[in-house]
């Protein structure tokens, strides 16, 4: 089987329903942003594997959960490509992410200031992933508005929580690696 099909040579691609869609559509932008986030999470895991020296059990749990998120994002793309006719992301997945945020926050000191996105390479890249998740969220809203969705699916809620999770993880990584947070200084 060849990886190229030539079916997209006229600027369209197909969804799982067999429909042809312009590659500049909001649908494709959303799928592309989800794909970018997914590959970025894979790179974050590679950074954690190579560089991070914090407690092994915390590191393994974190890396395993990132793989779990990557699977969720893949399934989210399928759900969207099927026009939400088959729901993959459910409220239990959103709750699971919220619980992981709470666990991560319980392992870090309280945040008392706005912080800049700095510190270790892994924590800083985690913030890059967070910003990609925020872009996914914005494009998701645009897409849902374009298709006149009556309600927002749990997959949208998942993306919303995912950016919060990644913020928490970034702080946790810096804390675990004894990296100081850089406090934002307001300009006068």
The C-alpha torsion from 45 through 167 and 150 to 139, rounded to 10°, is -70
pLDDT at position 10: 72
Contact 12, 21 (CB under 8 A): yes
Contact 165, 97 (CB under 8 A): yes
pLDDT at position 8: 65
Give the residue among 73, 35, 32 at the shortest CA–CA distance from 165: 73
CATH, domain range 24-176: 1.20.1200.10
Distance CA 155, CA 94 (A): 8
Report, in angstroms and rounded to the nearest whole number, the Rg of the chain calculated over CA atoms. 18
pLDDT at 152 over 90: yes
pLDDT at position 188: 79
Average pLDDT over residues 120-142: 97
Which residues have C-beta within 8 Å of that of residue 45, sequence separation ≥ 6?
Answer: 63, 66, 67
Q: How many residues does the chain have?
A: 188
Q: Place 182 in a pLDDT band, splitting at 50, 70 and 90.
A: confident
Backbone angles phi, psi at 2, to 5 degrees: -85, 150
pLDDT at 95 over 80: yes
What is the pLDDT of the chain when averaged over all its residues?
92
pLDDT at position 147: 95
Return the domain boundaries, the chain. 24-176
Return the half-sphere exposure (C-beta side, CA atoms, 13 A cut-off) of residue 75.
15
User: Tokens standing for 184?
Assistant: 């934002």
pLDDT at 6 over 80: no
pLDDT at position 106: 94
User: What's this model's pTM, rounded to 2 decimal places?
Assistant: 0.91
If you search the block for the tokens 């925020």, which residue do you land on? 134
């Amino acid at each position: 089987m060849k990886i190229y099909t030539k079916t997209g040579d006229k600027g369209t691609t197909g969804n799982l329903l067999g429909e042809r869609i312009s590659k500049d559509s909001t649908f494709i932008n959303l799928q592309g942003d989800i794909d970018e986030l997914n590959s970025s999470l894979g790179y974050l895991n590679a950074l954690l594997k190579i560089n991070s020296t914090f407690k092994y059990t915390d590191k393994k749990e974190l890396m395993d959960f990132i793989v779990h998120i990557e699977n969720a994002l893949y399934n989210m793309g399928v759900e969207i490509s099927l026009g939400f006719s088959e729901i993959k992301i459910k409220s239990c997945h959103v709750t699971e992410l919220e619980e992981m945020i709470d666990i991560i926050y319980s392992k870090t000191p309280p945040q008392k200031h706005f912080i800049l996105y700095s510190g270790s390479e892994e924590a800083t890249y985690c913030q890059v992933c967070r910003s990609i998740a925020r872009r996914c969220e914005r494009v998701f809203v645009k897409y849902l508005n374009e298709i006149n969705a009556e309600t927002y699916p749990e997959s949208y809620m998942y993306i919303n929580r995912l950016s919060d999770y990644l913020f928490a993880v970034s702080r946790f990584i810096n804390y675990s690696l004894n990296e100081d947070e850089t406090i934002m200084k307001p300009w006068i």
